[in-house]
Chains A and B, each alone.
Chain A
């Protein structure tokens, strides 16, 4: 089995991954991201406990199918690198490969199909006493480079990509983290669907929307929060396009399987990437996660979008919404669907979208996913089919 896992990992790496944040883990009573992730707001690196839970709770079981570590009996191999290399507690490496194949249809006719290299990153998180640091570097293909995370600047070839790198110190007895660097913008649900309207409209996806700044995050048993001073994305040139401001969220657990939160973001740039005009961009919203029945998780986010070209005397008002249903009938196998809407201030049309698909966590640290996304409201209706394979260390 270990040999097969090696072969699969190498095959995936050779062909060509996204950071992971699974808000649906609230079904298991995990309202705190920091239980499993080194980032207190979730995503990217797993801690030792998170590695173990990815095997004990997340992946399909081909044996007796027990769910807790107490019942499983065997030591979880996912707590080790590639399943067999023991790791020191201070060193948490990570690697991601995500490869997909996409079909795009307009008015029901396939007009585009291609292989999609989504992620190929390596990184590490270290924890030495109160000191913390993390960094990741990756490859961006000519067609799939996340532009806002580029380190190199090729416009036609592949690029070196750096989504996150930061250093900081744990405070408040380890419940808090004060850090500086390139960090995920704290806002809303940290959902994997980085092209969803809520993530795109607020520019808070974690594929490429990280920015440089100073952030303070805190995780308490019943609540968590993070605030960040946004100092500008140094991957964007010239400086006029860099947004500076603040963002943050706070989430309160209403119980072991329910949480609600609020988010806010205000950022100013001398030139908007869209209009080149000096712009104040704001987003305010609420989000919620609830699992009324273990196999079922509902997630929702509603955001108000305010866009003000400075000096114009006008204020564009828009909104974005996301409602997602995740059903896990068998451990590791998810059926999901989502409805979304978006109106950006500059357009009169309300765009709508519907998502549906399957997500299978085949082995620890290996998952497959198939999505169908229908969108309409701006131009002709479009449909996207995407299959992807993801492996991570």
Chain B
């Protein structure tokens, strides 16, 4: 029996029963009773996370203490090790666990000073980066004008 390609395609997209992705920031907040989940960037290069992007010293430390991808139990164990070892990644005198409870980055601050906020993405509500929407708006207007020009050309012919 030969499977119709369409049937095969439908079979492939059929299993849509998703389950929630293990959420390390939320799990860390629960384990340490934090007021808010920490940013992914305390371990990862960006908030997108992903395999191979654990580049921050604190993240590497947690990996060295048994942290495994998607395994919330291993996160609890690694955070427990950080507390038990009184680990201070950046050596600023504030333990990693305490830094998290204070809403700080255990990896420390930079030469920008503690006032440099974590990166955020998308159009800024503060209006400091309206360039994206403005650029789109300009493009839409240009496209609309171009379409009108085409209509005029067609009308002449």
The distance in angstroms between the C-alpha atoms of A343 and B123, with both chains bound, is 33
Q: Which B residues from 7 to 60 make CB contacts under 8 A with A?
A: 8-10, 12-13, 15-22, 41, 45-48, 50-56, 60
A142: min CB distance to chain B, Å = 10
Name the one of A60, A111, A147 contacting B70, with C-beta atoms under 8 angstroms.
Answer: A111
The segment from B81-89, B94-102, B138-146 found at the interface with A is B138-146
The distance in angstroms between the C-alpha atoms of A152 and B133, with both chains bound, is 9
Residue among B21, B50, B132 with the most chain A CB within 10 A? B132
Given A342-B52, A382-B69, check contact A151 B136 (CB 8 Å).
Answer: yes
Tell me which residues across on chain A come within 8 A of B125, comparing CB atoms: 153
The segment from A20-28, A70-78, A99-107 found at the interface with B is A99-107
The distance in angstroms between the C-alpha atoms of A138 and B131, with both chains bound, is 18
Contact A153 B150 (CB under 8 A): no
The distance in angstroms between the C-alpha atoms of A147 and B142, with both chains bound, is 27
A330 at interface, CB cutoff 8 A? no
Contact B68 A380 (CB under 8 A): yes
A74: min CB distance to chain B, Å = 18
Given A347-B60, A375-B52, check contact A273 B135 (CB 8 Å).
Answer: no
The distance in angstroms between the C-alpha atoms of A151 and B129, with both chains bound, is 10
Contact B54 A181 (CB under 8 A): no
Contact B122 A151 (CB under 8 A): yes
- Interface residues of B, dominant DSSP: loop
Contact A148 B51 (CB under 8 A): no
The distance in angstroms between the C-alpha atoms of A273 and B110, with both chains bound, is 12
Given A106-B68, A114-B18, A165-B136, check contact A236 B9 (CB 8 Å).
Answer: no
Tell me which residues across on chain B come within 8 A of A15, comparing CB atoms: 13, 16
Contact B128 A111 (CB under 8 A): no
Given A112-B70, A277-B111, check contact A200 B53 (CB 8 Å).
Answer: yes
Residue of B whose beta carbon sits closest to that of A377: B52
Q: Which A residues from 232 to 281 make CB contacts under 8 A with B?
A: 234-241, 270-271, 273-278
Contact B63 A378 (CB under 8 A): yes
Residue of B whose beta carbon sits closest to that of A270: B112
When each residue 311-323 of chain A gets 1 if its CB lies under 8 Å from chain B and 0 otherwise, what string results? 1000000000000
Tell me which residues across on chain B come within 8 A of A126, comparing CB atoms: 143, 146-147
Given A12-B13, A197-B52, A379-B54, check contact A363 B135 (CB 8 Å).
Answer: no
A143 at interface, CB cutoff 8 A? yes
Contact A389 B13 (CB under 8 A): yes
Name the one of B16, B116, B129 contacting A240, with C-beta atoms under 8 angstroms.
Answer: B116
A69 at interface, CB cutoff 8 A? no
Tell me which residues across on chain A come within 8 A of B22, comparing CB atoms: 111-112
Tell me which residues across on chain B come within 8 A of A146, comparing CB atoms: 48
Given A181-B135, A344-B55, check contact A362 B9 (CB 8 Å).
Answer: yes
Name the one of B18, B19, B71, B128 contacting A239, with C-beta atoms under 8 angstroms.
Answer: B128
The segment from A31-39, A128-136, A216-224, A288-296 found at the interface with B is A128-136
A171 at interface, CB cutoff 8 A? no
Name the one of B52, B53, B54, B139 contacting A165, with C-beta atoms under 8 angstroms.
Answer: B139
Contact A379 B67 (CB under 8 A): yes
B120 at interface, CB cutoff 8 A? yes
Contact A167 B128 (CB under 8 A): no
When each residue 89-127 of chain A gets 1 if its CB lies under 8 Å from chain B and 0 otherwise, what string results? 010000000010100101100011111000000001010
Tell me which residues across on chain B come within 8 A of A114, comparing CB atoms: 18-21
The distance in angstroms between the C-alpha atoms of A278 and B63, with both chains bound, is 26
Contact A375 B5 (CB under 8 A): no
A172 at interface, CB cutoff 8 A? no
Q: Which A residues from 152 to 185 make CB contacts under 8 A with B?
A: 152-155, 159, 162, 165-167, 181-182
Given A111-B69, A366-B9, A379-B67, check contact A90 B52 (CB 8 Å).
Answer: no
A212 at interface, CB cutoff 8 A? yes
Contact B9 A389 (CB under 8 A): yes
B119 at interface, CB cutoff 8 A? yes
Contact B52 A378 (CB under 8 A): yes
Contact A235 B132 (CB under 8 A): yes
Contact B47 A237 (CB under 8 A): no
The distance in angstroms between the C-alpha atoms of A128 and B56, with both chains bound, is 49
The distance in angstroms between the C-alpha atoms of A246 and B67, with both chains bound, is 38
Contact A375 B139 (CB under 8 A): no
Interface residues of B (CB under 8 A from A): 5-6, 8-10, 12-13, 15-22, 41, 45-48, 50-56, 60, 63, 67-71, 109-112, 116-117, 119-125, 128-129, 131-133, 135-136, 139-140, 142-143, 146-147, 149-150
Pick the 4 closest A-B CB pairs, nearest first: A153-B122, A150-B122, A276-B110, A111-B70
Not counting A115-B16, A128-B150, A234-B132, a sample of 6 additional A-B residue pairs whose C-beta atoms are within 8 angstroms of each other reads A7-B6, A111-B68, A236-B120, A240-B112, A375-B51, A382-B51
Query: What are 11 A-B pairs at a CB distance below 8 A?
Result: A106-B70, A115-B16, A126-B147, A147-B46, A148-B48, A234-B132, A235-B121, A238-B120, A273-B119, A274-B55, A378-B52
